[in-house]
Amino acid sequence: MSAANTAQTYGSVTKTFHWLTALLILALVPLGLIANGLPYETDAELALKAQVFSVHKTLGVLVFFVALARILWAVTQPKPGDLNHDRKVQSTLAAVVHWVLYISLVAVPLTGWVHHAATSGFAPIWWPFGQGLPFVPVNENVAEGAAALHWLFSKIMIASILLHVAGALKHHVIDKDATLRRMWFGRADAPLVPAHRGSRAAPFAAVVIFALATGGAAAAGLFREHESVAGEALAAVASEWSVTEGEIGIVVTQLGSEVQGSFTDWTAAISFDPDVTGAAGEVTTTIGISSLTLGSVTSQAMGADFFDAAAFPTAVFTGTIIEEDGNYTADGVLTIKGSEVPVRFPFDLVIDGDLAQMDGTLTLDRRDFGIGASMADESSLGFGVDVVLRVVAQR
């Protein structure tokens, strides 16, 4: 059997690409469904879910490269003539399905890969070229857009596969021709047929199908900017120093990888006299827990075993601002999930007239607040959580 195609037969390379792709897709689809349905409340459950997702993602990247190689090989080879060349409508529909399948074999793994690269944390890809992609930022909106496209394109792919299989079975069982045998290894005993005559209509129709599906999904609201978990916005507070900009971020370690997040809804009531040494002021910071974004595990973080946002919608730090020899700390109590823990928060402070900028980092132990109690060791979730605070305030 020749490695290359001829005008009448498929070569061994084309057949290998075809059946390798089929085997990979047959593994990927159930793996994705199983991974999405697995719970992740305990160490063991999270480890299993992450492992299944990692297998799914790793095989998905393999499908992407196999599909590219398959397409590049196909464009260099003659395509055997259609056995049903006398049935123009049927041949055209089959060609459209083939093109939809070709596009989806690239688009589905690529959008999944972009979603992974744009998301912080959880279930690494096991190929040795890192977790990111060039020109793809770690961004919730990018991640959610890619995830939506991945979901949509995967449904198009599954539909095209079912049509492809149905067509092959029709040829084999009803028409009793050599279409299916011709793609298998060995002699197909296919009759001589006219050479394949390509058409631009089929690839154009396939692109139109993807465009219409994407447009319809957008109109139905499938693509939307990231929104925090629903929660009542915090009311404004009176303060001697008004926060003009700032960020409260956290960094956790999950499955050995850093996951960065931040709270978008928080208030700070600050009284502070930069001319006073010792106890120079007071601060009360209230954080809306439901405003947290934490990569791919945001919804998990809201659960009862973690922040339990439904029962404990806010975290509060109340402390005294202390200046000692030009060094600043905020000494007080941090309350999260009903647990009150003494905290000493050192920070840098730069004052320019009535404008002040503070930056500080603090490491907390999640166990002090009863967060992730089911994660008894650090194999799934590290004990240490870095809190990164940057605030610009105007007096």
DSSP state letters, 371-387: TTTT--STTTB-SEEEE
Q: For 88-100, what is the mean pLDDT?
A: 90
Q: Which two tokens stand for residue 152?
A: 């949509």
What number of other Cβ atoms are within 10 A of residue 161's Cβ?
19
Question: For residue 251, which of 390, 388, 137, 138 has the smallest C-alpha distance?
Answer: 388
Confidence of residue 190 (pLDDT cuts 50, 70, 90): confident
**Torsion angle in degrees (nearest 10) through CA of 205, 216, 293, 310:** -140
For residue 167, the surrounding DSSP H or E stretch is: helix 140-169
Q: Which two tokens stand for residue 90?
A: 């049927």
* Three-class secondary structure of residue 263 per DSSP: strand
Q: Which two tokens stand for residue 67?
A: 């599909």
pLDDT at 377: 84
Residue whose structure tokens are 């498929």: 10
Q: Helix axis angle, 88-118 relative to 201-219, nearest 10°?
A: 50
389: left (phi over 0), alpha (psi -120 to 50) or beta: beta
pLDDT at 164: 95
Between residues 227 and 162, the one the model is more confident about: 162
Between residues 186 and 243, the one the model is more confident about: 243
Q: What would the CATH number be for the domain defined by 12-219?
A: 1.20.950
pLDDT at 102: 94
Residue whose structure tokens are 């092959």: 168
pLDDT 10s digits, 320-337: 999 998 899 999 999 999
φ, ψ of residue 137 to 5 degrees: the values are -80, 155
Confidence of residue 85 (pLDDT cuts 50, 70, 90): low
pLDDT at 1: 65
- For the cut 70, the answer to whether the pLDDT of residue 69 exceeds it is yes
Q: Which of 26-35, 116-125, 278-287, 386-395 has the lowest mean pLDDT?
A: 116-125
Question: Count of residues for the chain?
Answer: 395
- Looking at domain 242-394, does it have CATH number 3.20.20.70? no
Q: For 67-90, what is the mean pLDDT?
A: 86
Q: Which amino acid is at 37?
A: G
CA distances from 88 to 10, 27, 169, 199 (A): 21, 34, 19, 12
Confidence of residue 232 (pLDDT cuts 50, 70, 90): low
Question: For residue 187, which of 8, 18, 23, 22 has the smallest C-alpha distance?
Answer: 8
pLDDT at 231: 58
* Three-class secondary structure of residue 129 per DSSP: coil
pLDDT 10s digits, 340-366: 999 999 999 999 999 999 999 999 999
- For the cut 90, the answer to whether the pLDDT of residue 196 exceeds it is no
**Average pLDDT taken over every residue of the chain:** 91
Which pTM does this prediction carry? 0.79
Max mean pLDDT range (44-48, 110-114, 184-188, 255-259): 110-114
Matching fold, domains 12-219 and 242-394 = no
| Residues near 89 by beta carbon (within 8 Å), at least 6 away in sequence | none
CA distance 334 to 369: 9
Confidence of residue 368 (pLDDT cuts 50, 70, 90): very high
CA distances from 350 to 116, 260, 318 (A): 38, 26, 21
pLDDT 10s digits, 291-323: 999 887 888 899 898 999 999 999 999 999 999
Confidence of residue 197 (pLDDT cuts 50, 70, 90): confident
| Residues near 368 by beta carbon (within 8 Å), at least 6 away in sequence | 339, 341
CA distance 20 to 67: 10
CA distance 57 to 270: 47
- For the cut 90, the answer to whether the pLDDT of residue 64 exceeds it is yes
pLDDT at 157: 97
Q: Which of 33-37, 74-78, 172-176, 228-232 has the lowest mean pLDDT?
A: 228-232
Instruction: Delimit the domains of the chain by residue range.
Output: 12-219, 242-394
CA distance 251 to 292: 12
pLDDT at 84: 73
